[in-house]
Amino acid sequence: MIIMSVESSCDETAVALVRDGREILTDCISSQVDLHKLYGGVVPEIASRKHIEAIYGLADQALAQAGLTRKDIDAVAVTYAPGLIGAVLVGVNFAKAASLALGVPLIPVHHIRGHIAANYLAYPELEPPFLCLVVSGGHTMLVDVKGYTQMEILGGTLDDAAGECFDKVARVLDMPYPGGASLDKRAQQGTEGRYPMPRAKAGANPLDMSFSGLKTAAINLIHNAKQKGESLVVEDLCADFSAAVSDTLVPRAMMALEQTGYKKLAVAGGVAANSRIRRDILAEAEKRGVSVYMPPLKLCGDNGAMIGAQGYYEYLAGNLGDMSLNAYATKSILGETL
Ligand code: KG4
Ligand code: ZN
């Protein structure tokens, strides 16, 4: 079954063709990052406009690259939540039109379920159940993936997402948007220990997390140094900051593995590209005999193929949409409107 999948929830327009949820035939992405960089963050109206400009051409490009025609498309999958509402609407309306015109099913896909499914593309042998650490720009949580479409949230951030925290600190350090990857690069050249950072405990659930205190501590340190005219060893600060994020995430992921008894840990979302987090996860998992699944960097960030992968399993579960499908700025991974 060939699914055309569409992703437009933030600042990447993406159209992919995926076979049976596992094989990427083509994955076309048009990034708007350079445009939003000028403003230090995503400007929602600009994002929506650029999605409209890019999406039709990308769909044609995807078909041409795969050597396929519209007749080969068996279904259309689309991110319908969560994201910037105007941006998500562009993808949803395009997908509705394509589904209607082609006479094929329409499959609504939750963006974060898509991130988890990026692992199915990278690891053909991976099947639920497994634990997934989701770390993106807007979400940070530990998900018990019981089945392809049955999930339970075991814990998560009570305030900021890990990616948001990376981006804010990077911005105060004058790194270009989105700063996570730049901060990671600088951290790799630094040495830990010069700038100790807090590791917060959050609430009664030991699997919950908090990042806002860490973010504030790092930003205060930078502002203080600026006000006093002191120079900072940015590489060392980035290293200490990344260590604190990883120390918040990785031990909780290990705790969740113990709780569930799973021996499979997947990682998903843009922050899963972080070198420190990847290293710590591999080291801790190895000690426990746990298999680790981490998508290659290009499948960690937003892409269309991950929506096609999850879309296939939503289709098999009968989770189809129709012409009344709406877009949602917020919606839980379990499908509840927040
Ligand atoms: O999953 P994603 O592409 O978009 C959302 O669904 O949010 O995640 C984007 C986030 C941004 O915050 C970006 O700075 C962060 O992922 N990111 C990283 C790295 N690469 C991307 N954060 C830390 N280290 C990285 N190497
Ligand atoms: Zn994402």
Q: Is the pLDDT of residue 201 over 90?
A: no
Residue nearest atom 22 in ligand 1 by C-alpha distance: 180
Residue of 123, 54, 89, 78 whose CA lies nearest to 299: 123
Q: Is the pLDDT of residue 338 over 80?
A: no
Distance CA 2, CA 19 (A): 5
Ligand 1 atom at minimum distance from 297 CA: 20
300-324 mean pLDDT: 97
Number of Cβ within 10 Å of residue 35's Cβ equals: 14
pLDDT confidence tier of residue 89, bands split at 50, 70 and 90: very high
Residue nearest atom 7 in ligand 1 by C-alpha distance: 137
Q: Are 118 and 305 in contact (CB under 8 A)?
A: yes
pLDDT attached to residue 177: 87
- Our mutation pick for probing the ligand 1 site, out of 136, 277, 279, 297, counting the most ligand atoms within 8 A of Cβ, is 136
Q: Is the pLDDT of residue 274 over 80?
A: yes
pTM: 0.96
CA of 303 to the centre of ligand 2 (A): 8
Cis before 129? omega within 30: yes
Q: Which two three-digit tokens encode residue 147? A: 């089945």
Instruction: For 200-235, give one letter per residue: b (16+ CB within 10 A) or e.
Output: eebeeeebbbbbbbbbebbbebbeeeeeeeeebebb
CA of 302 to the centre of ligand 1 (A): 9
CA of 231 to the centre of ligand 2 (A): 35
pLDDT attached to residue 328: 97
Q: Is the pLDDT of residue 40 over 90?
A: no
Pocket of ligand 1 (CB under 6 A): 10, 115, 136-138, 163, 166-167, 178-181, 184, 269-271, 273-274, 301-302
* C-alpha separations of 5 from 100, 118, 128, 268 in Å: 15, 13, 22, 18
Instruction: Name which of 16-20, 71-75, 177-181, 266-270 the model is least confident about.
Output: 177-181
Q: Which residues surround ligand 2, an ion (CB under 5 A)?
A: 136, 302
pLDDT attached to residue 203: 85
pLDDT attached to residue 84: 97
Instruction: Name which of 84-93, 250-259, 310-319, 326-335 the model is least confident about.
Output: 326-335
pLDDT, tens digit, 9 for 90 and up, residues 46-77: 999 999 999 999 999 999 999 999 999 999 99
Sequence-separated contacts (24+) of 93-97 with Cβ below 8 Å: 94/6, 94/8, 94/55, 94/56, 94/59, 95/6, 96/321, 96/323, 96/325
